[in-house]
């Protein structure tokens, strides 16, 4: 017989695998904002009743255990999620109509950021709070900040539907007839019954031969590592016409819009990484059809899994898209697999994440028409829904369907430049806009550079026509700069900088060293250094000595480097 639960504890049970990972990252980086979600919704209607709105939320919190759940882990063999019997929702009402400075938009932005920065104590329920900010006589911004541990996007959609029903019932005096809410613990119990051996066999076969995560190669430095910290985001939208054409194409090919976005992302990953075998993360709903009531259950069901694509650039676009659909369907059969175990079963080095990026296709949008189809004070009119979230991965592509497909890239600002992120978004948009016209073409012919970027590459960046003294060698031109402006910066690589004067001096010392070793005109010097300041100093020194240089990439296999040195007849290697 199990021991009785303490006072105000309704239930306690283990975490799902994804909850376990989220808890680990959240506790490891408590001030990073990781997995803190903020949903902002606009309520614009006459006679809106905030007190009724609040009462409806009290009912919802009593209905759904997830909203009364906290997490405990200290002095336990494994973490537990603990459901309280009663909790008090942190609730704040503010009036921004007459703020100092007269800018309610800026005031709202500050309020939202302050709320996000407040974070959560994960062992204290509820792991959510709300702000109702009045921005006009009949207009409110409702800010719902919560931790991702307790709910996913599907849950949000379901809860908003129940909220409308409850609000209408309270306003009309006819209480909403809601079915009993399914328990999240049923899902946890279902997970325990799964066949892990079957998971293992699938993932070992699916990831066979894949040994290193796909890296874009546009990080701020080659040694850049991801640490939970400052994230930023950028976004773009397809036009109404482009979105409509994309939806029509998906219907004709019998694929989902999610498959379309995943396929385009895989091609872009391949172009950036230089590999035709790429892996990224994909978010799945995780709601097993065999579990009774799962569609109406509130909690964290989503899961993140690896999706792999081997790209043949000669394959037709239509065939590639259909292959991607089959690829995704095969993975969905194992959508409740534990990502930590998948990484362990893979051939990637221990401790190395399977992927650097993740694609999230929000296939549970809230249709604004549902909230505005029936006007009147009894109907809660919710619109302009805005999501803000942060994952533990350095790069997340969020696709929001609608009349205009919206693409959001959330990125680690310590690893990626904003300009590079905007460029990726423009390329994604270009590929999605052109896929219908090239559906029977090979993948390599699908345009991925937008017209503006092509113009920049061929015109502005290629505008190098200027007078130059062709009678002087490049090393002489550099040394002339050292004479004219020795204190100016000549080289920048990460945190390392060299002035022209320093470059001239260091290259001169090395040139003297080469001369002492009888390296000069007619000789070849191999430079096998990383691409940094030292490599360029050696390059200039070789030019000053009169010799020639052979660049050797240290990451090449030893056999390949030996063959290059032998064929070139290099006299010395540095």
Tens digits of residue pLDDT in 282-333: 999 999 989 999 999 999 999 999 999 999 999 999 999 999 999 999 999 9
Q: What angle do CA 145, 150, 152 make, to 5 degrees?
A: 80
Q: What is the mean pLDDT of residues 519-540?
A: 88
What pLDDT shows up at residue 1?
42
Q: How confident is the model at residue 454 (pLDDT cuts 50, 70, 90)?
A: confident
Tell me the pLDDT of the chain averaged across its residues.
Answer: 89
* pLDDT surpassing 60 at residue 364: no
DSSP output for 109-122: HHHHHHHHHT---T
Q: What is the mean pLDDT of residues 389-415?
A: 90
What pLDDT shows up at residue 296?
92
Q: State percent of the chain over pLDDT 90.
A: 59
What pLDDT shows up at residue 125?
95
Is the torsion defined by CA of 348, 332, 359, 130 positive or negative? Answer: negative
* pLDDT surpassing 90 at residue 378: no
For residue 394, how far is the Cα from the chain centroid? Answer: 6
In sequence order, the β-bridge partners of residue 309 are 278
What pLDDT shows up at residue 365?
43
Tokens of 573: 């290697």
What pLDDT shows up at residue 3?
60
Tens digits of residue pLDDT in 477-503: 888 888 889 899 988 887 788 899 999
Q: What angle do CA 348, 530, 492 make, to 5 degrees?
A: 120
**Helical ranges in 308-449 per DSSP H:** 317-332, 339-345, 368-372, 418-434
What pLDDT shows up at residue 369?
41
Tokens of 24: 């680990």
Q: What is the C-alpha to C-alpha distance for residues 557 and 416, in angstroms, rounded to an integer? A: 29
What pLDDT shows up at residue 2?
56
* pLDDT surpassing 70 at residue 225: no
Are 48 and 138 within 8 A, CB to CB?
yes
CB atoms within 10 A of CB 338: 21
Choose the weakest-confidence range: 108-112, 226-230, 565-569. Answer: 226-230
Q: What is the mean pLDDT of residues 518-524?
A: 88
* pLDDT surpassing 50 at residue 165: yes
Q: How confident is the model at residue 204 (pLDDT cuts 50, 70, 90)?
A: very high
What pLDDT shows up at residue 292?
92
* pLDDT surpassing 70 at residue 226: no
Residue from 405, 134, 171, 389 nearest 283 by CA: 389
Q: How confident is the model at residue 105 (pLDDT cuts 50, 70, 90)?
A: confident
What pLDDT shows up at residue 372?
46
- What DSSP designation does 71 have? E
Helices 257-273 & 317-332 angle (0-180, nearest 10): 110
Q: What is the mean pLDDT of residues 152-161?
A: 93
460 or 16, which is more confident?
A: 16
Q: What is the C-alpha to C-alpha distance for residues 560 and 539, in angstroms, rounded to an integer? A: 21
What pLDDT shows up at residue 221?
62
- What DSSP designation does 294 have? G
Tokens of 326: 């089959």
Residue 491, classed as helix, strand or coil, is strand
Query: 501: exposed, middle or buried (C-beta count within 10 Å: 0-12, 13-18, 19+)?
Result: middle
Q: State percent of the chain over pLDDT 70.
A: 95
Q: How confident is the model at residue 464 (pLDDT cuts 50, 70, 90)?
A: confident
């Amino acid at each position: 017989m199990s021991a009785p639960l303490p006072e105000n504890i309704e239930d306690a049970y283990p975490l799902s695998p994804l909850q376990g990972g989220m808890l680990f990252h959240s506790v490891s980086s408590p001030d990073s904002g990781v997995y803190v979600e903020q949903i902002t919704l606009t309520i614009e209607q006459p006679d809106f009743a905030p007190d009724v709105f609040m009462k409806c939320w009290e009912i919802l919190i009593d209905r759904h255990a997830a909203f009364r759940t906290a997490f405990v882990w200290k002095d336990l063999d494994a973490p537990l999620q603990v459901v309280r019997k009663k909790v008090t929702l942190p609730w704040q009402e503010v009036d921004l109509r007459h703020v100092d400075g007269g800018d309610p938009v800026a005031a709202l932005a500050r309020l939202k950021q302050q709320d996000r920065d407040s974070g959560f104590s994960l062992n204290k329920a509820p792991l959510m709070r709300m702000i109702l900010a009045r921005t006009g006589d009949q207009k409110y911004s409702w800010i719902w900040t919560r931790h991702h541990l307790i709910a996913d996007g599907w849950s949000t959609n379901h809860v908003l539907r129940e909220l409308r029903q409850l609000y209408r019932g309270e306003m009309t005096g006819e209480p909403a007839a809601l079915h009993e809410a399914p328990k999240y613990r049923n899902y946890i119990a279902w997970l325990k019954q799964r066949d892990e051996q079957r998971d293992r066999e699938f993932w070992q076969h699916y990831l066979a031969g894949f040994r290193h995560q796909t890296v874009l190669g546009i990080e701020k430095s080659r040694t850049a590592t991801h640490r939970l910290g400052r994230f930023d985001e950028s976004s773009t939208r397809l036009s109404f016409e482009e979105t409509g054409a994309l939806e029509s194409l998906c219907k004709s090919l019998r694929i989902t819009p999610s498959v379309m976005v995943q396929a385009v992302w895989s091609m872009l990953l391949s172009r950036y990484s230089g590999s035709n075998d790429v892996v990224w993360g994909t978010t799945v709903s995780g709601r097993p059809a065999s579990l009774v009531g799962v569609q109406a259950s509130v909690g964290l069901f989503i899961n993140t899994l690896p999706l792999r694509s081997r790209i043949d650039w000669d394959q037709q676009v239509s065939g590639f898209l259909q292959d991607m659909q089959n690829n995704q369907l095969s993975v969905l059969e194992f959508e409740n697999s534990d990502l930590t175990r998948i990484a362990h079963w893979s051939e990637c080095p221990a401790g190395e994440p399977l992927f650097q990026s993740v694609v999230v296709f929000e296939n549970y949008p809230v249709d604004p028409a549902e909230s505005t189809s029936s006007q009147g004070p009894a109907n809660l009119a919710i619109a302009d829904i805005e999501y803000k979230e942060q994952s533990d991965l350095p790069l997340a592509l969020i696709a929001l369907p609608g009349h205009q497909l919206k693409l959001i890239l959330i990125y680690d600002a310590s690893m990626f430049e904003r300009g590079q992120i905007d460029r990726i978004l423009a390329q994604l948009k270009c590929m999605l806009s052109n896929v219908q016209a090239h559906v029977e073409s090979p993948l390599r012919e699908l345009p991925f550079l937008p017209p503006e970027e092509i113009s920049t590459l061929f015109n502005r960046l290629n505008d190098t026509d200027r007078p130059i003294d062709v009678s002087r060698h490049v090393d002489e031109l550099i040394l002339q700069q050292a004479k004219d402006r020795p204190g100016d910066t000549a080289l920048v690589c990460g945190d390392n900088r060299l002035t022209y004067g320093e470059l001239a001096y260091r290259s001169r010392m090395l040139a003297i060293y080469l001369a002492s070793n009888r390296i000069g005109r007619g000789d070849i010097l191999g430079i096998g250094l990383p691409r940094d300041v030292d490599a360029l100093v050696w390059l200039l020194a070789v030019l000053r000595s009169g010799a020639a240089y052979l660049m050797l990439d240290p990451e090449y296999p030893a056999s390949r480097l030996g063959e290059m040195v032998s064929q070139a007849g290099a006299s010395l290697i540095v």
